[in-house]
Amino acid sequence: MQDRLDRFELIAELAVGGMGAVYLARLSGAGGFQRLYAIKRLHDHLSKNDDFISMFLDEARLAARIHHPNVVPIVEIGTTDAGYYLVMEYIEGDTVWHLYNRAAKTGKHVPDRVTVRIALDSLAGLHAAHVLADDDGKPLEIVHRDVSPHNILVGVDGVSRITDFGIARAATRLAVTQSGQLKGKLAYMAPEQARSEVVDRRADVFSMGICLWEMLAGQRLFKSEFESETLNRLLYEPIPSLTNIAPNVPPDIEAVVLKALTRDPDKRYASAAAFSDALEHAARAHDLIGGKREVSACVDDVLGIDLAERREAIRAWKIESEPGRSASQGDAPRPVPSSATTVSDVGSAPSGPSLPETSGMSPAPVSSSGTSVGVALFAAAMAVASGLLEWNRAHAQGVAPTRHESTEPAAAVSLEPASPSVVPSSSSSEAEERTTATESSVSAVAAEPTPSAALSSSPSPAPGSAKPAPPHRTPPKATPSTAPKPTDMMVNPYR
């Protein structure tokens, strides 16, 4: 796709959520400046809904205040006739959801060290949002309320980031969620949120506990085919033992995860920071804290092909969108040639001129008859050149040529096909132009070898008339030391 949104050029759609779609966009500036961004727009059916617009503005107002390396930053908010949009930093990578699902489908394993690092980064970003205060130092009491693998981005730089505060709840938010309305993904909700009770930052702790349990176990925790069953598992069923599903997980790490999944908020970790500290302490004892390089290598191993295809698509779009850029310039890939043979593909001698292509038209394919015409023309030119050489040697020796020897100058040679069955197509004017250009090239080649170049300017005989005798010239007396040897001329007839 190629569209504009104010000063941004939209490249492609990256993802679609409940509120809007996210697009990859480019911002161009002076001196060849270019930068990629992610732009989130409301769905068309929501762009005129005041409630959703207020929620959309809430996301920008709250998330724009968060400045942390583990949170996707909001650059600006804009509006057009189509509605509001958010401009976010473009993170090259993918979601935790895609990372673990692709690993499962391809038979690859995301190391536990990488899983712990992703969880620690995500908890750091959540804590930064939880403790955010306004200009007067008053806590904003931000709660994400939609923490899930879909809203955690893992970059190729090895850093994980929280994104999409689209349904964040704060004390001073402009829009209030309707009573009893569930917002978010049910399989990743805290029990108090599913019961539509008052929630605080501990709800995000429970949701992050679900994400960590699933990443370590390699399967879903509460998700079922029906929402009613999912809700029942979330509210009442005991949490399955993590070590029974994944024996490689140490028991003390399982204990940390189970505390985060306590249904009573008062018995849960009080903050994301407390959850992070407990996880880091348990993981460090087993050397299970991975670094950024390990995460980056894992992303490349699991998602390398997908990311390479995305980079190539972006590169191709950049080339296509550059003004005045044609497919034959620079790094643009050349079109795949068709199976039909074109004029430029047939007998292109190194010394001959190339045939120009007609603007706005593709080269017309040449049939087998067209190829035969070229061969016949070349053979005729060679025969004329040979006859001229024989005639010149005969005059140089004072001997008249016999009747069977060709004595016509090169320009008077008829370039018609040798056989009546070989006829160039008359339905394509482009093919005729190429045939004419080929005839001119062959005439030039035939005239070049002969020392008697002046003979090529004599008028051509009228059709059906007798061939005129060549003009009589008194040839200079050639000495044996300067006369060309016939064998030398036959070795290279283009001399």
- Among candidate residues 112, 121, 146, 164, the one labeled active-site is 146
Q: Which residues pair with 152 in a beta bridge?
A: 162
Q: In this structure, which amino acid lies at residue 280?
A: E
For β-strands 152-155 and 3-5, DSSP reports them as unpaired
- The alpha carbon of 356 is separated from its chain's Cα centroid by a whole number of angstroms, namely 31
Question: Cα-flanking dihedrals φ and ψ of residue 168, to 5°?
Answer: -60, 145
- Tokens of residue 394, six digits: 């005969």
Distance CA(297)–CA(114), nearest Å, equals 10
SS3 221: coil
CA 456 distance to own-chain centroid? 57
| Beta strand pairing call for 83-89 and 34-42 | antiparallel
The SS3 assignment for 278 reads: helix
Neighbours of 329 (CB within 10 A): 10
Instruction: Let me know the angle formed at the C-alpha of 244 by 243 and 245, rounded to the nearest 5 degrees.
Output: 90
Structure tokens of 55?
């929620």
Of 390, 357, 392, 371, which is closest to residue 478 (Cα–Cα)? 392
Q: Distance between CA atoms of 76 and 39, rounded to whole angstroms?
A: 10
Count of H-run helices and E-run strands, the chain: 13, 9
DSSP state of 88: E
146 is catalytic: yes
Quote the CA–CA distance of 302 and 402 in Å, as a whole number. 83
Q: Give me the active site residues, please.
A: 146
